[in-house]
């Protein structure tokens, strides 16, 4: 029997239903907003696989073309590998639900979201998060929800809950907010230089919007929820953990304080190997597997790192809590790239390259659920194994790389004048070294490379990550915490938060929050946002020492562009039958030519010669005859009554025999012959578009100009 609940979120209704579809899943719901419907199903294996050493959670979100009444593009007419939007939404759904599973649970869990109906106005990504929370809540899978999720926009200064795509076009904020009954759990998005105060207000608005969804889930669980199953948790036995701590003794803290990431890791690994061997001697290899040793030392290391921060006021690399690591940067380092930079922050380093392309280089994609279907600005992030001194499988970009690239992309994009900029822009960030927040290094390096390329950024953008280390009191609330500016890898791994915020000197442009906690109070988040602002201004100052504003000239290797405005009625003549004219011109000039419906013609060329050929030809093919203007033309036809002269490409006019010379001409051939180039003056154009030309008038005007020049 199905159960249905409606939650009022702002001025829109979200409808959640269970018991109708996917009844063999452990938990399944449909979530509807407008005419957009997503089904989400959750299933957990009954037991963990033999030798399982991590929590195998898979979250998969898919959009179906049929949901929008469309056919998929491509030859096979079937949806293929996940798109970037699907990957990003899978991550968006995964990140808030993952910390709420029991620690030590290694049963495989799959959460799958499928878009069944898409109205083109309401984005399904929020429904996927709400659906994942509800499906887990009504299932028998242990999980510490519920969660609410909402998209927050700001239109004309007013916050809007779950804005449509039409409303988002007017919004200066795109915030995906996830919260529990009291605290922030996750957020992600972009903004057009929103202030810290307004951003905090948006977070509070999002928190309020989540409450009806949380209440609806609780009501649905009361009506249709299953009793939670017992799960066998994989935990290191207490006696082995205590023995490991005893054997490690006081050596672990000095090892953690070893300068340098690799040296620190080696020092800790040496202790782990030594203690691991002794544990095997005492308890036997059957009880002390590699996994047990690894897991035991994860807890020991985590406890030691957190103890240093909370009790001793120390960070692993010796910095104060609010200090950014040393920054260095260079630009123009790669001669053939259109723009390039190296940005280093401590042991994190990104090499960024900019490529300027034409309108043909715009990225196009199927958009079944509404929103844009092309991108003029693209940022790709790559994370090779050597950046952390490791080996591993070499393949295409994974979900993490796509997610980090998307964060850096949306952080920079608000500062690019893409609407009026004729180039398509691509940034690639190649991570050379990693020890904390390479996505924010990509923002900084990407900004420098864009300015090096001469892209007219409105203002430079920088980003930083802020972490937190917490301790809970007896009331299960945070009793002690320390905020950590510019976290390194182990502070991310062993502490509780990775809060990335990017922006300009005027405000925030991009943000992403990942928590290992079940939630964070708004007051603590406000402190983190302020710390990020202070750090961001410092980084912007350091970047300005290298390059403070965009270069005035673009690289000599980038395509030059000229824009010509023609009468839209002339577009057909420029293109020609079957594209004959434009194809010939592209071939002759070597240029790329983009023609827009309003008559804007963009010419892209890497050589001045090609640009001139294309410009002159386009001007000629589309120009109108100007009365009183002198042209150099070619005689193309001779008649008894005069000569026809091609004075513009493809356009000719008549020079009547009486207008050939300032004396009586008996025969046209006495003055001009076929193929002669002569000066002619436009006398007029009749109502049928026929042009009257005069050689006589052109010669007289030239003689007058020469006489005036001689007088001077």
Domain check: are 618 and 634 in the same one? no
Of 256, 280, 312, which marks where a domain is finished? Answer: 312
Domain identity same for 542 and 639: no
Of the residues 507, 522, 546, the one at which a domain ends: 546
Tens digit of each residue's pLDDT (9 = 90 or more) over 85-134:
999 999 999 999 999 999 999 999 999 999 999 999 999 999 999 999 99
Buried b (16+ CB within 10 A) or exposed e, 241-253: bebbbebbeeebe
Q: What is the pLDDT of residues 567-609, one digit of tens each?
A: 888 888 788 888 888 888 888 888 888 888 888 888 888 888 8
Is residue 275 over pLDDT 70?
A: yes
Rounded Cα gap, residues 378 and 355, in angstroms: 10
pLDDT digits (tens, 9 = 90+) for 384-399: 999 988 899 898 889 9
Among 156-165, 331-340, 416-425, 567-576, whose mean pLDDT is lowest? 567-576
Please name the helix (run of DSSP H) or strand (run of DSSP E) that holds residue 19, with its range, or none: none
Q: Is the residue at 396 inside a domain?
A: yes
691 in a structural domain: yes
Predicted pLDDT at 124? 96
C-alpha span between 317 and 88 (Å, rounded): 33
132 touches 100 (CB < 8 A): no
User: Do residues 611 and 464 share a domain?
Assistant: no
Does residue 228 carry a pLDDT above 90? yes
Do 609 and 635 share a structural domain? no
State the Cα–Cα distance between residues 556 and 454, nearest whole angstrom. 11
Structure tokens at 664: 């009586």
According to the model, what pLDDT value does residue 562 have? Answer: 85
The answer to whether the beta carbons of residues 157 and 171 sit under 8 Å apart is no
Tell me, yes or no, whether 34 lies in a domain. yes
Q: Are 28 and 21 in contact (CB under 8 A)?
A: yes
In the predicted model, what is the mean pLDDT of residues 544-568?
90
Q: Are residues 242 and 334 in the same domain?
A: no
Confidence grade of residue 559 (pLDDT, cut at 50, 70, 90): confident
Whether residues 502 and 635 fall in one domain: no
State what percent of residues in the chain have pLDDT above 90.
70
Mean confidence (pLDDT) of the chain: 92
pLDDT of residue 370 exceeding 80, the answer is: no
Asked whether residue 232 is assigned to any structural domain, the reply reads: no
| pLDDT surpasses 80 at 25 | yes
Residue 372 has pLDDT above 80, yes or no: no
More confident residue, 459 or 232: 459
Residue 335 pLDDT = 93
- The total number of structural domains in the chain stands at 5
Residue 552 belongs to a domain: no
pLDDT at 53: 83
Looking at residue 568, its pLDDT comes to 86
Q: How far apart are CA 447 and CA 497, in angstroms?
A: 26
Average pLDDT over residues 425-438: 95
Same domain, 508 and 595: no
- Please determine, for residue 50, whether its predicted confidence score (pLDDT) is greater than 80: yes
Q: What CATH number corresponds to the domain at position 249?
A: 1.10.10
* pLDDT tens for each residue of 465-480: 999 999 999 888 999 9
Q: What is the DSSP letter of 361?
A: G
**Assigned domain for 551 exists:** no
Q: How large is the greatest C-alpha to C-alpha distance in the chain, in angstroms?
A: 123
Whether 616 and 635 share a structural domain = no
Q: Give the pLDDT confidence score for residue 452 in this predicted structure.
A: 97
CB–CB of 404/504 below 8 Å?
Answer: no
This prediction has a pTM of 0.87
Domain carrying residue 262: 238-312
Q: Is 675 found in the same domain as 605?
A: no
Q: Could you tell me if 484 and 309 are in contact, meaning their C-beta atoms sit under 8 angstroms apart?
A: yes
Of 112, 18, 120, the residue nearest 57 (C-alpha): 112
Q: What does the pLDDT read at residue 589?
A: 87
Alpha helices in 485-567 (DSSP H): 489-494, 522-546
Query: Rounded distance, CA 431 to CA 88, Å?
Result: 20
Pair (284, 352) in one structural domain: no
**Residue whose C-alpha is closest to residue 97's, from 6, 14, 217:** 217
Mean per-residue pLDDT for 239-256?
88
Q: What is the CATH number of the domain that holds 518?
A: 3.30.230.70
Same domain flag for 443 and 515 = yes
Whether 554 maps to a domain, the answer reads: no
Integer angstrom CA distances of residue 70 from 30, 369, 388, 500, 543: 21, 11, 44, 37, 47
The pLDDT value recorded for residue 581 is 84
Beta bridge partners of 191: 173
Residues 175, 270 within the same domain: no
The per-residue pLDDT for 52 is 84
Q: What is the mean pLDDT of residues 269-277?
A: 91
684: left (phi over 0), alpha (psi -120 to 50) or beta: left
Q: Taking the CA of residue 617 as centre, how many other CA atoms within 13 Å lie in the half-sphere pointing to its CB?
A: 22
Pairing of the two strands 57-63 and 109-117: parallel
User: Looking at residue 600, what is its pLDDT?
Assistant: 87
User: What pLDDT score was predicted for residue 712?
Assistant: 64
Is 211 among the domain residues?
A: yes
Residue finishing a domain among 570, 602, 622: 622
pLDDT at residue 367, as a whole number: 77
Neighbours of 45 (CB within 10 A): 14
128-179 pLDDT, tens digit per residue, is: 999 999 999 999 999 998 999 999 999 999 999 999 999 999 999 999 999 9
């Amino acid at each position: 029997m199905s159960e249905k609940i409606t939650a009022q979120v702002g001025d829109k209704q979200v409808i959640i239903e269970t018991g109708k579809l996917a009844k063999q899943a452990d938990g399944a719901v449909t979530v509807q907003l407008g005419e957009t419907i997503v089904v989400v199903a959750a299933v957990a294996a009954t037991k963990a696989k033999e030798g399982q050493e991590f929590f195998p959670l898979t979250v998969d979100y898919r959009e179906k073309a049929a949901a929008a009444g469309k056919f998929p593009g491509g030859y096979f007419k079937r949806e293929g590998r996940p798109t970037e939007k699907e990957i990003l939404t899978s991550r968006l759904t995964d990140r808030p639900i993952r910390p709420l599973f029991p620690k030590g649970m290694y049963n495989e869990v799959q959460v799958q979201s499928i878009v069944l109906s898409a109205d083109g106005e309401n984005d399904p990504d929020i429904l996927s998060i709400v659906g994942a929370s509800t499906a887990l809540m009504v299932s028998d899978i242990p999980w510490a929800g519920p969660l609410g999720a909402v998209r927050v926009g700001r239109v004309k200064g007013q916050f809007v809950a779950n804005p449509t795509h039409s409303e988002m076009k007017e919004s200066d904020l795109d915030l995906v907010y996830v919260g529990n009954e009291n605290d922030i759990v996750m957020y992600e998005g972009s903004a057009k230089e929103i202030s810290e105060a307004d951003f905090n207000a948006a977070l509070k608005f999002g928190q309020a919007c989540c409450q009806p969804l949380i209440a609806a889930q609780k009501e649905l669980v009361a009506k249709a929820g299953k009793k939670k199953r017992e799960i066998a948790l994989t935990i290191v036995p207490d006696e082995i953990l205590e023995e490991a701590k005893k054997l490690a003794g006081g050596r672990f803290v000095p090892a953690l304080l070893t300068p340098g990431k690799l040296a620190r890791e080696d020092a800790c690994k040496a202790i782990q190997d030594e203690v691991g061997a002794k544990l095997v001697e005492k308890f036997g290899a059957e009880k002390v597997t590699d996994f047990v040793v690894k897991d035991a030392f994860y807890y020991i290391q985590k406890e030691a790192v957190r103890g240093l921060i909370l009790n001793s006021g120390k960070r692993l690399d010796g910095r104060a809590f609010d200090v950014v690591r040393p920054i260095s940067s260079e630009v123009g380092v790669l001669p053939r790239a259109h723009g390039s930079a190296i940005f280093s922050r401590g042991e994190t380093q990104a090499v960024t390259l900019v490529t300027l392309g034409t309108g043909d280089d715009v990225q196009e994609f199927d958009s079944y659920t509404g929103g844009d279907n092309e991108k003029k600005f693209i940022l790709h992030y790559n994370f090779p194994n050597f950046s952390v001194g490791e080996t591993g499988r070499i393949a295409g970009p994974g979900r993490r790389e796509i997610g980090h690239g998307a964060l850096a992309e949306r952080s920079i994009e608000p500062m690019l004048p893409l609407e009026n900029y004729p180039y398509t822009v691509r940034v690639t960030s190649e991570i050379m070294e990693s020890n904390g927040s390479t996505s924010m290094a990509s923002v900084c390096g990407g900004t420098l490379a864009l300015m090096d390329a001469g892209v007219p950024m409105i203002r430079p953008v920088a980003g930083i990550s802020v972490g937190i280390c917490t301790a809970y009191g007896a009331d299960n609330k945070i009793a002690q915490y320390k905020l950590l500016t510019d976290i390194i890898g182990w502070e991310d791994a062993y502490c509780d938060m990775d809060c990335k915020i990017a922006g300009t000197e005027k405000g925030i442009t991009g943000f992403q929050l990942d928590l290992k906690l079940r939630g964070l109070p708004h007051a603590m988040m406000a402190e983190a946002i302020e710390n990020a602002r202070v750090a961001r201004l410092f980084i912007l100052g350091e970047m300005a020492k290298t390059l403070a504003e965009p270069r005035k000239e673009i690289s000599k290797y980038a395509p030059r562009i000229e824009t010509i405005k023609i009468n839209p009625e002339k577009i057909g003549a420029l293109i020609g039958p079957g594209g004959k004219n434009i194809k010939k011109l592209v071939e002759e000039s070597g240029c790329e030519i983009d023609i827009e419906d309003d008559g804007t013609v963009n010419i892209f060329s890497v050589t001045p010669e090609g640009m001139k050929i294309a410009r002159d030809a386009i001007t000629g093919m589309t120009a109108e005859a100007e009365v009183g203007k002198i042209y150099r033309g070619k005689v193309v036809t001779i008649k008894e009554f005069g000569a026809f002269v091609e004075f513009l490409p493809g356009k000719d006019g008549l020079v009547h025999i009486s207008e050939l010379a300032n004396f009586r001409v008996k025969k046209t051939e006495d003055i001009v012959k076929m193929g002669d180039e002569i000066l002619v003056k436009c006398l007029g154009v009749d109502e049928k578009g026929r042009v009257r030309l005069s050689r006589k008038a052109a010669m007289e005007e030239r003689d007058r100009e020469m006489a005036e020049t001689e007088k001077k």
